[in-house]
Amino acid sequence: MVGGSLAGLNTVRALRAEGYDGSITVIGEERHQPYDRPPLSKAFLRGDLDADALALGSPDEYADLGARWLLGERAVRLEPAARAVTLTGGRELHADAVVIATGAHPRTIAGAAGLAGVHTLRTLDDAVALRADLRAGRPCVVVVGAGFVGAEVASTARALGLDVTVVEAAEVPLERVLGRAMGLACASLHAEHGVRLLCGTGVAGLTGEDRVTGVRLTDGRLLPADVVVVGVGVRPATDWLAGSGVAVDDGVVCDAGCATNIAGVVAVGDVARCPNPFTGRSGRIEHWSNATEQPRTAARTLLSGRSSAAPAQPPYFWSDQYRTRIQLAGHVGPDDQPRVVEGDLDSRSFVVVYRRHGHDVAVLAVNRPKLFGRLRRTLTPIPVTVAPVAS
């Protein structure tokens, strides 16, 4: 198991639940046991939780699972013919099967390397460093990127009493995910809570010598900044697979059963690019729920020797911003028609259903969890034929 985060842990759990009693070795680049990432941008960053509260699983569970954990180790090469994974330093591990669960690395911006005060947020260590900076009396924060992680960090920083500006290259934040109208509705939370949102402009560079002092925008403006948080997406962690023969294209290319083009090698979590039986599209799904559900499919594929798709469940995620919970299930396409079925947009408490070709394909809720839960179960997948992975 290469990758010791949520998807890796859940694959260990799934293998044991399916009756596998052989040895399992987990290689984790981080030095921490698996932990819960969603609170990193919220409760942990605010200081409401400590690191121990983020732990996934108890010592008793780890003992029952019986896996060997190699933490603080990084895989640098995969040789499928020999079923060998090489670690930094040259150590080789041999196995009957390999699970790729290496996740993704955050993207950054030019000029950020080596400049104090510039952060990305992906790991517990990232969150520890950012929390220390936010609580060190540095009042001016610039968040680059108004996606969900950027918005959550902006919300948390504002709750800590800091001056926050969010910079977003798109004209409408989250338009690709929620559509234009709902993107605007959710983006309005920033202004309502005293956060400045600048859309339609990118970052030209950063100012400062040892420590960041400002963010220069492509439209010529210069924003003062004591702390900069970059939330401009991630790239799948596949560099170590170069030369392995494993098909890679914005992630590890898999079939619907998480099988790669190499026998005995599967992929799960943020790194896996699989056909989704609900959306009918092939892609990576960077959701917490995907990292909990997909490992069951991968475990069955490994143990049965047959690759079969999981049931067509709608993708699901949530985001907590400014004491507001945003939930989305399904997939929103560019031509889908949103319809408010409960509440209203102005109150920031509503439920919207998206329709496509007569089907309800997605539901968005803001502070309406009960109806969201019911409608989530009624969503209908659109039948689309997805070509299998070439072997």
DSSP 258-317: SB-SSTTEEE-GGGEEEE-TTT--EE----HHHHHHHHHHHHHHHHHS---PPP-PPPEE
Confidence of residue 75 (pLDDT cuts 50, 70, 90): very high
Please state, in angstroms and rounded to a whole number, the distance separating the CA atoms of residues 41 and 198: 21
- Segment 95-115 shows an average pLDDT of 95
- CB 174 within 8 Å of CB 183: yes
Six-digit token string for 367: 């502070």
Q: Is it true that domain 108-232 has CATH number 3.50.50.60?
A: yes
Please state, in angstroms and rounded to a whole number, the distance separating the CA atoms of residues 364 and 342: 11
A 10 A CB-CB count for 209 gives 8
Please state, in angstroms and rounded to a whole number, the distance separating the CA atoms of residues 294 and 286: 11
In this predicted structure, the answer to whether residue 391 has a pLDDT above a threshold of 60 is no
Confidence of residue 225 (pLDDT cuts 50, 70, 90): very high
The one-letter code for the residue type at 75 is: A
- CB 131 within 8 Å of CB 45: yes
Please state, in angstroms and rounded to a whole number, the distance separating the CA atoms of residues 336 and 331: 9
In this predicted structure, the answer to whether residue 385 has a pLDDT above a threshold of 50 is no
Confidence of residue 384 (pLDDT cuts 50, 70, 90): low
Q: Is 207 helix (H, G, I), strand (E, B) or coil?
A: strand
Tell me the pTM. Answer: 0.94
pLDDT tens digits along 54-68 = 999 999 999 999 999
pLDDT tens digits along 133-171 = 999 988 999 999 999 999 999 999 999 999 999 999 999
| Class for the domain spanning 323-376 | alpha beta
Query: What pLDDT is attached to residue 311?
Result: 82
DSSP 138-152: --EEEEE--SHHHHH
> Which distant-in-sequence residues (6+ apart) come within 8 Å of 350 by Cβ?
340, 342, 343, 344, 365, 366, 368
Q: Is 108 helix (H, G, I), strand (E, B) or coil?
A: coil
Please state, in angstroms and rounded to a whole number, the distance separating the CA atoms of residues 54 and 251: 27
pLDDT tens digits along 197-216 = 999 999 999 999 999 999 99
Please state, in angstroms and rounded to a whole number, the distance separating the CA atoms of residues 197 and 154: 10
pLDDT tens digits along 303-361 = 999 998 888 889 999 999 999 999 999 999 989 999 999 999 999 999 999 999 888 99
- CB 310 within 8 Å of CB 293: yes
Give me the chain's average pLDDT, please. Answer: 94
In this predicted structure, the answer to whether residue 388 has a pLDDT above a threshold of 60 is no
- CB 384 within 8 Å of CB 390: no
Tally: H helices and E strands in the chain: 9, 25
Phi then psi for residue 201, to 5 deg, are -145, 145
The fraction of the chain above a pLDDT of 90, given in percent, is 89
Confidence of residue 386 (pLDDT cuts 50, 70, 90): very low
Residue labelled with tokens 């790991």: 123
In this predicted structure, the answer to whether residue 383 has a pLDDT above a threshold of 60 is no
Please state, in angstroms and rounded to a whole number, the distance separating the CA atoms of residues 190 and 154: 8
Confidence of residue 192 (pLDDT cuts 50, 70, 90): very high
Query: What pLDDT is attached to residue 80?
Result: 92
Phi then psi for residue 364, to 5 deg, are -120, 135
Q: Is 38 helix (H, G, I), strand (E, B) or coil?
A: helix
Q: Domain ranges for the chain, please list them.
A: 6-105+235-304, 108-232, 323-376
- Segment 184-195 shows an average pLDDT of 96
Query: What pLDDT is attached to residue 180?
Result: 95
In this predicted structure, the answer to whether residue 21 has a pLDDT above a threshold of 50 is yes
Six-digit token string for 73: 């180790």
The one-letter code for the residue type at 45 is: L
Decide whether 108-232 matches 323-376 in CATH topology.
no
pLDDT tens digits along 171-182 = 999 999 999 999
- The CATH H-level superfamily of 6-105+235-304 is FAD/NAD(P)-binding domain (3.50.50.60)
Q: Is 213 helix (H, G, I), strand (E, B) or coil?
A: strand
pLDDT tens digits along 283-299 = 999 999 999 999 999 99
Higher pLDDT, 276 or 147: 147
